[in-house]
Amino acid sequence: MNPLLDPPPEPVQLKDAPLPIVLTQLRFLAVPNMENQAYIAGFQESVRKDYPRFSSESMGLSFAIQMGVGVTQPTLRTFWRMASFDSKWVLTLTQDFLTLETTAYIHRDDFVKRWAAIIDAFQRSFTDITVVRYGLRYVNRIDDPALMDRIKELVNPAALGIISQLPGAERAEVSMSEAVFSVPEGKMRVKWGILPANAMHDPSIQPSTKRSWILDYDIFQESSPSPLELEAVKDVAPRFAERGYAMFRWMVEDAFLEAFGGKS
């Protein structure tokens, strides 16, 4: 199977999938009114049944402005959070993006269905949204020391590279790779490899307190600004998920699936 072109294999449900986070994000041209709670109230109400916990956070962003001399101009941005009762599913809305993230991923059909309902509510609540990027991201992580000792059994040797060839190399402190591929759905950025305890491969992802192997793939489309079309987002979301699963299955061996409650 070529994970960049071919359809994925039939999915294998993992009882204990090693997914610390899965997220999807729609980016659009800035709508300054999103800073106003009254403006976003209709959307919050439409998703409140599934995401009843509402909060906001103001975060400072800095921009360099040239006015004869360099200065830094701070500005505050509001992040509206809408979460499930257990906080395992979180919606974040700002003036230029909408994100759904979860630490309790079940399977792709469930995730895509939830996202489609959110996009439906979003389109009903706001007019003239102009999309610039859409992406779907999965972060897989192994940090069980016993499984890390078996990394050569669990991961495709082609992905492990030198780790698969040298005796003792599976105990490497750091061995990271990154690539961006063209795929039929758009682009796919993949980061994978071994990290020491508390090391971050991305500042937006909470690191493990233990040595770990990560597989982080982001499938996305970037385009010229275009109006939000509900059906287009609904159509591409499952295809993104399938492309990501094709990469996952190429990266891992059957022993990986077995270790997390899949194939026996």
pLDDT score, position 61: 55
d(CA 223, CA 64): 26
CA distances from 262 to 19, 101, 164 (A): 14, 24, 23
Angle between helix 108-125 and 37-47 (nearest 10): 140
Contact, 240 vs 185, CB < 8 A?
A: yes
At 103, list the tokens: 């630490």
pLDDT score, position 229: 81
pLDDT in tens, the chain (264 residues): 899 999 999 999 999 999 999 999 999 999 999 999 999 999 999 999 999 999 999 876 544 444 444 545 557 889 999 999 999 999 999 999 999 999 999 888 999 999 999 999 999 999 889 999 999 999 999 999 999 999 999 999 999 988 888 888 778 889 999 999 999 999 999 999 999 999 999 888 899 999 999 999 999 999 888 887 878 888 899 999 999 999 999 999 999 999 999 865
d(CA 192, CA 170): 14
Q: Which residues of 23-44 are buried (b: 16+ CB within 10 A; e: fewer)?
A: bbbbbbeebeebbeeeebeebb
With residue 242 as reference, give the H or E element that holds it: helix 230-251
**Among 47, 114, 115, residue whose Cα is nearest residue 80:** 47
Contact, 67 vs 111, CB < 8 A?
A: no
- 22's CB contacts (< 8 A; 6+ apart) are 101, 102, 105, 111, 137, 138, 139
pLDDT score, position 262: 87
- For residue 58, give the DSSP letter: E
Q: What's phi and psi for 158, nearest 5 deg?
A: -65, -30
At 61, list the tokens: 């962003």
Residue 86, burial from CB neighbour count under 10 angstroms (0-12, 13-18, 19+): exposed
pLDDT score, position 49: 96
CA distances from 7 to 182, 190, 210, 233 (A): 15, 18, 34, 20
